[in-house]
Amino acid sequence: MAMATHAMDMCSLGVEFLERKTNLLLGVRGKPTGVCIPATGNLKGNLVRGVVRVQAASTATSSSDGVKWWEKDGGPNFRDVHSTQEFVDALANAGEKLVVVEFYASWCGSCRALYPKLCKLAAEHPDIEFLKVNFDENKPMCKSLNIKVLPFFQFYRGADGKLEEFSCSLSKLQKIRDAIAAHGQSISPPVGDLLHE
C-alpha cells in the first residue's frame, strides 16, 4: 500500500510538473495538446491502457487576466514594433542610446519564459531602449535581418549601427546582461564632463 501511494505521489508530481511547464512542453502555437505519462494511480485524465493523457489548457497565449503574455506592458522603455518603418523610426529616434531588440513569437516557449526577465532588465536600465518584434507579424523584415531562431537579440547604437546579435534563452540571460554592460555606456562623455574639461 505504501509503495502504491509513493508511486501515485511521484506520478502526481510528474503531472504537476508538466502542467507548470505547459508553455514549454505542451502549449505549441496556443493549441491545447497532451502528453502521455505512465498511470500508477487515480489521476485526472483519461486512463487508456495504463497511460494517462493529461490535457493542457491553452495557457501559452493568455493569462488569468485575459492579457496575452507578449502584450503585457514591459515599461516605458520597452515597446512593440509592428512594421519595418516603425523599426527604422525607433532606431533613428533613439539617437546615441543603446537599443536592445528582441525578436520573439507568441508560440515560443523560451520567449515567454524570458519575457519577465527582460521587463526587469528594462526597469533596471531606463536609459536603454528595449524593442520587441513579433516574428510572425514581421516575417519579411525578420527574414531580411536573417533571424532564423527565437528568441533572438540585436544591439544597436546610433551611428555605430548594429553592435552585436545572438540567440539567447532564459538559461543564458547573463549573455544579455554582459552585452548591456559592454555596450551600455554611450560613446560620447556626458555633457557635464565636457564642461569641466
Q: Which residues are catalytic?
A: 108, 111
The one-letter code for the residue type at 101 is V
User: Which of 169, 170, 178 is closest to 149 using CA atoms?
Assistant: 169
Whole-angstrom distance, CA of residue 15 vs CA of residue 121:
32
CA angle (34, 39, 40) in 5-degree steps: 150
Could you tell me the end-to-end alpha-carbon distance of the chain, in angstroms, rounded to an integer? 82
For residues 18 and 35, the answer to whether their CB atoms sit within 8 Å is: yes
The 3-state DSSP class for residue 118 equals helix
Q: What is the DSSP letter of 78?
A: E
